[in-house]
Amino acid sequence: MKTGVLIVNLGTPDSPATKDVRKYLTEFLMDERVIDIPAWKRTLLVKGIIAPFRSPKVAKEYKKLWLENGSPLLVHGQELVNKVQQLFNRERSSVQVELAMRYQSPSIERGLQKLQAANVQKIIIFPLFPQYASATTGSVAQKVMEVVSKWNVIPHIDFIQSYHDHPRFVEAFAFKVRGDLALYQPDHVLFSYHGIPERHLTNAQQQNLNLCHWPKCKCERKALNKPYCYRSASFKTSELIAAASGIAPGNFSTSFQSRLGKSPWIQPYTDETILQLLKKGVKNLLVVSPSFTADCLETTLEIGEEYKELFLENGGESFHFTKSLNAGDHWSRVVFQLLKNKLNNDEVPHINGAGVDLNHQPGPIAL
């Protein structure tokens, strides 16, 4: 049976030109799962305020990180797809792997059309978002179903929805973190995740009782396994990567970045956490962002420049950021193995309700 794989990331403008950035921001922020307010309010906010006024500033930021052959997110994504395809080809598997972006190009519709033209009988959707959120993985799922619902013949569709506690994902990040710990010897490690509005958790709680009871969430105090609570999943990822990296419980923190607008987002906020760590005497800080599997504006510039400046200007001595997984060989093999597991209908291994045993120190991945 021929199988198609669609690896999906968030999206990127076609170029760092202001007009392309405005087009990207408009499509992104008009998604009702991203800004979940009435359509008329969202239209006024996005098309009347955010896109026109933020586009020039964001365009300048994209120009800073734009590569010779395109956007880093697109370049890393295509390289990852190529490596995963090569791994399937070596096994002579009847699998075709394509790349898509939720917003802009290459679109989800185009990626699915390629798989449809290849006459695949099954499609696996792999969003590059380890922790489930309605605004990311949920939006990808909605768009996929919107596209295939128009087909006369709909193949079997399967999703990899969350892998925030999968041992292979944890070890992929821990491998990089261990290297940076040895290199920089930080006083503290801060795990910073992209934030979401508080109301996203409140709305989700109404549908699924296996979520945290926001706003009285105690995720950071319990070894919870609530895969559809973004905040809980983020704290769990931090615990697991820290344990696999040999970081003592008191030597790492979890926070959330990139908030937009005046409404409250999930906390603690990264900028406030950095200032609190400085007050506690932290002088050498390492920041890791396991919600991003590829480096982008939020990692390279927001963390690598803005938060670094905040830390150093307020008394910090050294600030370093662990680069993301991108299209590294290690991560490519992890993606390949996760897809193979899905092809074979294997369940994600869990130990005591979590992805890895906190008392176990996993070694390098053997594939």
- Are 122 and 254 in a shared domain? no
Q: Is the peptide bond before 364 cis (omega within 30 degrees of 0)?
A: no
Quote the domain boundaries for residue 243: 167-321
- Are 182 and 128 in a shared domain? no
Does the residue 348 lie in any domain? no
Closest to 182 in 3D by CA, of 193, 191, 192, 174: 174
Does the residue 120 lie in any domain? yes
- Are 256 and 131 in a shared domain? no
- Are 128 and 191 in a shared domain? no
> Which residues have C-beta within 8 Å of that of residue 183, sequence separation ≥ 6?
none
- Are 287 and 198 in a shared domain? yes
**Residue 207, Cα to own-chain centre: how many angstroms?**
23
Is residue 254 within 8 Å of 220, Cβ to Cβ?
yes
Does the residue 358 lie in any domain? no
Closest to 177 in 3D by CA, of 238, 254, 257, 258: 238
Domain boundary (159, 179, 196) is at: 159
pTM for this entry: 0.90
Closest to 9 in 3D by CA, of 86, 78, 96, 62: 78
- Are 127 and 252 in a shared domain? no
In this prediction, residue 261 carries a pLDDT of: 80
In this prediction, residue 289 carries a pLDDT of: 98
- Are 311 and 179 in a shared domain? yes
- Are 146 and 183 in a shared domain? no
At 66, which amino acid appears?
W
Torsion angle defined by CA atoms of residues 158, 170, 107 and 15, in that order, rounded to the nearest 10 degrees: 180
Query: How far is Cα 116 from Cα 119, in angstroms, rounded to an integer?
Result: 5
- Are 125 and 177 in a shared domain? no
Does the residue 362 lie in any domain? no
| Inter-helix orientation angle 230-245/198-205, to 10° | 110
Reading the block at residue 219, the tokens are 């995720």
Does the residue 329 lie in any domain? no
| pLDDT, tens only, 51-107 | 999 999 999 999 999 999 999 999 999 999 999 999 999 999 999 999 999 999 999
Domain boundary (159, 188, 214) is at: 159
- Are 235 and 261 in a shared domain? yes
DSSP string, 63-122: HHH-BTTB-HHHHHHHHHHHHHHHHHHHTT--EEEEEEEEESSSBHHHHHHHHHHTT-SE
Average pLDDT, whole number, for the chain?
90
Question: With pLDDT > 90 as the criterion, what percentage of the chain qualifies?
Answer: 81
Does the residue 346 lie in any domain? no
- Are 266 and 150 in a shared domain? no
Is residue 107 within 8 Å of 101, Cβ to Cβ?
yes
Closest to 338 in 3D by CA, of 166, 175, 170: 166
Number of domains in the chain: 2
Residue 166 has pLDDT above 70, yes or no: yes
Does the residue 367 lie in any domain? no
Does the residue 340 lie in any domain? no
CATH number, position 178: 3.40.50.1400
- Are 314 and 273 in a shared domain? yes
* 294 DSSP assignment: S
Query: How far is Cα 135 from Cα 123, in angstroms, rounded to an integer?
Result: 22
Domain boundary (101, 135, 159) is at: 159
In this prediction, residue 201 carries a pLDDT of: 79
